[in-house]
Structure 1
Amino acid sequence: MRYIPNTLAAAATASALLLIGTATAGIAQAQPVTSAPAPAAQPARTQSLYAPSDLVLTIAKGEDVPTATVERAVTLTCAPRAKGTHPTPVSACTELKAVGGDFAALTRSPSHKACTRQWNPVVISAQGVWQGKYVTWSATYGNMCEMEASMGQGTVFSF
């Protein structure tokens, strides 16, 4: 059995190749080819002048982060501008900047609030990045009243 090519398809293909060759030859004549070296690839650069500050803050029922049940969680971004699901991101970022991102310093406020001794543990946590450095922090309180008392008038964990 001998293969006989479809002459109509072969003629169409040959015509197309001829047209393409003619078109590219015209372009090559119109624009001389130069052998300039390719520009060196530039190293990747960051698009921002700010170190990232993106955090997830949680309030949970339980004694420690791995076993606690999260009741509330918000996101907080402080750089380049304050935003996130936190109800007051500007004041929360201002407060964090004042303590240099030291979450433990937020809980050192003296309190005059009287709380019961009821054991209903609450754990608060912060995880993410603060000014370009990974952060993971948590604190456990005997109950919600103790947590609120330790924060004073702070806004970081007021959500």
Structure 2
Amino acid sequence: MRHSLKTLGAVALAAAACVTGIAGTAHAQTATIYAPSALVLTIGRGDEAASTVVRAVTLSCAPQPRGTHPASQAACAELEAVGGDLTLLSGAPTDERCSLLWAPVTVTADGVWQGRRVAWRATYGNACQMNAALSDSAVFTF
């Protein structure tokens, strides 16, 4: 029986699509084992309403720490310890003396933590106050 190249090409494409679909389904099933935990973290100048992003990193914690965050493993461990509640990241008060100069710094975390939507932000009076408040945390050390 003679088959045209067009027919053989169509059959090959259909077979490839079928294999890709099966592989895609297997990948989708293994990808759902872990609840998504991926955040975009920013540090910006200005108050909450008018913050200009100065630095930003990505942080993904499942199935393993990765992203552009320079200390992704430590940051993911901290977030895991506080159940993703970024308000619990502030460390113990420090003896660091900060000026009262108003030069606001806003930090944000947007994304998903263990399948839950995260949209968190905090504004500090200046960079010194931010560093003092988050001194024990690797999450915003970038």
List aligned pairs for 1:7-86, cutoff 5 A: 20=2, 46-48=29-31, 49-64=33-48, 66-86=49-69
Aligned residue in 2 for 1:154: 137
Asked if 2 retains the 8 angstrom alpha-carbon contact of 1:63 and 1:123, the reply is: yes
Sequence identity (%):
49
Displacement, 1:47? 2.1
Displacement, 1:107? 1.9
The two structures have a TM-score, normalised by structure 2, of 0.78
Please give the alpha-carbon distance, in whole angstroms, between the structure 2 residues aligned to 1:81 and 1:150. 27
In structure 1, which of residues 87, 91, 96 is the aligned counterpart of residue 79 of structure 2? 96
The two structures have a TM-score, normalised by structure 1, of 0.70
In structure 2, which of residues 125, 129, 140 is the aligned counterpart of residue 142 of structure 1? 125
1:115 aligns with 2:98: yes
Cα RMSD, aligned residues only: 1.6
Displacement, 1:67? 1.8
Asked if 1 retains the 8 angstrom alpha-carbon contact of 2:75 and 2:138, the reply is: yes
SS at match of 2:74: helix
Please give the alpha-carbon distance, in whole angstroms, between the structure 2 residues aligned to 1:101 and 1:20. 63
Please give the alpha-carbon distance, in whole angstroms, between the structure 2 residues aligned to 1:130 and 1:112. 32
**Can you list the C-alpha shifts for 1:32-69, whole angstroms capped at 9, x where unaligned?**
xxxxxxxxxxxx663231101110000000101x5211
**Can you list the C-alpha shifts for 1:105-155, whole angstroms capped at 9, x where unaligned?**
002532221100000000000000101111000000000000010012210
One-letter code of the match for 2:43?
Answer: I
Q: Please say which structure displays the higher CA radius of gyration.
A: 1
Displacement, 1:20? 4.0
Asked if 2 retains the 8 angstrom alpha-carbon contact of 1:124 and 1:139, the reply is: yes
Asked if 1 retains the 8 angstrom alpha-carbon contact of 2:91 and 2:136, the reply is: no
Name the structure where helix makes up a greater proportion of residues: 2
Segments of 5+ residues of structure 2 without an aligned counterpart are: 4-24
Please give the alpha-carbon distance, in whole angstroms, between the structure 1 residues aligned to 2:41 and 2:92. 19
Asked if 1 retains the 8 angstrom alpha-carbon contact of 2:43 and 2:105, the reply is: yes
Segments of 5+ residues of structure 1 without an aligned counterpart are: 1-18, 22-43
Aligned length: 118
